[in-house]
């Protein structure tokens, strides 16, 4: 007799030294097809190197043909009765499969939602900067979530945020459209913009532009380097391009100030 709550440890319930509790008794399942001597069936349906149907042959005969053609016997349909095997170069087959999977991953389009936060009383310069980011995101084929953040008494003026969102949507209407109309969410007002271009089209255009730049740089290496140096020297901290005439005017103004300063000092004296 056993008291309630007790468990009798028998041979089926008692943990053993070979299989401790929580251990994974099953090994990892291989996803690769069986080839050559790993195939354990008496007969197979054989497919030739060019895709021709050879028919149902014994496994020994199929292995002999594979050795004769200097190829591998690969099991391509293990669940068929009998299993279907094909004569092929397994190493080349794995390489081509890996390259196809790589190209498929490269062409995959992942939907990404970027977010841009603004304030109702945003400065014009900050608005232009934020709008530039939105334009860049839409050109890349990404969706953009625009969030207007209200603070304090700004919450009683939701029309300010609504007008700002409508203004932004109008400014970028050539690149995107309003996917989700502005709506109030607590202290924030949210709007979602969707791109006119699909992600795959944007990625294709980006790759073409990159290839064109590489080809141009390879054709004119000196010109591309000089252009890069001029672009670097012609930009100030804020990213605005400064022309040569503006630099010359600044230098001339500095020289005039240094020349006229002693004259004014003598006049004061």
For 107-119, b/e burial (b = at least 16 CB within 10 A) is: eeeeeeebeeebb
pLDDT in tens, 103-112: 877 767 677 7
Tell how strand 43-47 and strand 176-185 pair up.
unpaired
pLDDT at position 191: 94
Distance CA 22, CA 50 (A): 49
Torsion of CA 259, 263, 264, 268, to 10 degrees: 160
pLDDT at position 148: 94
What would the DSSP string read from start to end of 56-110?
A: EEEHHHHHHHHHHHT-EEEEEETTSSSPEEEEE-HHHHHHHHHHHHHHHHHT---
Contacts of 192 (CB under 8 A, 6+ apart): 113, 143, 144, 145, 146, 178, 179, 180
User: Helix/strand/coil (H, E, C) string of 209-252?
Assistant: HHHHHHHHHHHCHHHHHHHHHHHHHCECCCCCECCHHHHHHHHH
Contacts of 62 (CB under 8 A, 6+ apart): 44, 46, 73, 85
Q: Using an 8 Å Cβ cutoff, are 13 and 54 in contact?
A: no
pLDDT at position 198: 80
Q: What is the pLDDT tens value at each position of the chain, 269 positions in all? A: 445 544 444 444 444 444 444 445 555 566 778 888 888 888 889 888 888 888 888 888 888 888 888 888 888 888 888 889 989 888 888 888 889 888 877 767 677 789 999 999 999 999 999 999 999 999 888 899 999 999 988 888 899 999 999 999 999 999 899 999 999 988 999 999 999 888 777 777 777 888 888 888 888 876 655 554 544 444 343 333 334 444 444 444 444 343 344 444 444 44
Select from 96, 44, 50 the least CA-distant residue to 74: 44
pLDDT at position 17: 45
Give the DSSP letter of residue 32. S
pLDDT at position 253: 43
pLDDT at position 181: 92
Contacts of 198 (CB under 8 A, 6+ apart): 109, 141
Distance CA 54, CA 65 (A): 11
pLDDT in tens, 128-154: 999 999 999 998 888 999 999 999 888
Contacts of 194 (CB under 8 A, 6+ apart): 143, 176, 177, 178, 179
pLDDT at position 116: 92
Query: Is the sign of the CA dihedral 245, 247, 249, 252 positive or negative?
Result: negative
């Amino acid at each position: 007799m056993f008291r309630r709550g007790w468990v009798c440890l028998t041979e089926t319930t008692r943990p053993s030294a070979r299989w401790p509790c929580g251990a994974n008794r099953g090994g990892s399942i291989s996803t690769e097809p069986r080839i050559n001597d790993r195939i354990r069936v008496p007969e197979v349906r054989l497919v030739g190197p060019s895709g021709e149907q050879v028919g149902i042959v014994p496994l020994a005969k199929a292995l002999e043909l594979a050795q004769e053609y200097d190829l591998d016997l690969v099991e391509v349909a293990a669940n068929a009765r009998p299993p279907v095997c094909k004569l092929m170069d397994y190493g080349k087959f794995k390489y081509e499969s890996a390259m196809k999977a790589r190209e498929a991953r490269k062409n995959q389009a992942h939907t990404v939602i970027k977010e841009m936060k603004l304030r109702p009383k945003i400065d014009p310069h900050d608005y232009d900067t934020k709008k530039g980011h939105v334009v860049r995101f839409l050109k890349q084929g990404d969706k953009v979530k625009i969030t207007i953040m209200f603070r304090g008494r700004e919450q009683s003026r939701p029309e300010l945020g609504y007008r700002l969102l409508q203004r932004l949507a109008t400014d970028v209407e050539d690149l995107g459209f309003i996917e989700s109309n502005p709506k109030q969410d607590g202290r924030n007002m949210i709007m979602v913009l969707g791109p006119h271009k699909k992600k795959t089209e944007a990625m294709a255009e980006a790759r073409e532009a990159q290839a064109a730049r590489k080809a141009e740089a390879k054709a004119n290496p000196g010109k591309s380097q000089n252009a890069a140096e001029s672009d670097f020297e012609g930009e100030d901290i804020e990213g605005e391009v400064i022309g040569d005439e503006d630099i010359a005017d600044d230098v001339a103004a500095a020289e005039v100030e240094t020349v006229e300063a002693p004259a004014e000092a003598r006049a004061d004296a």
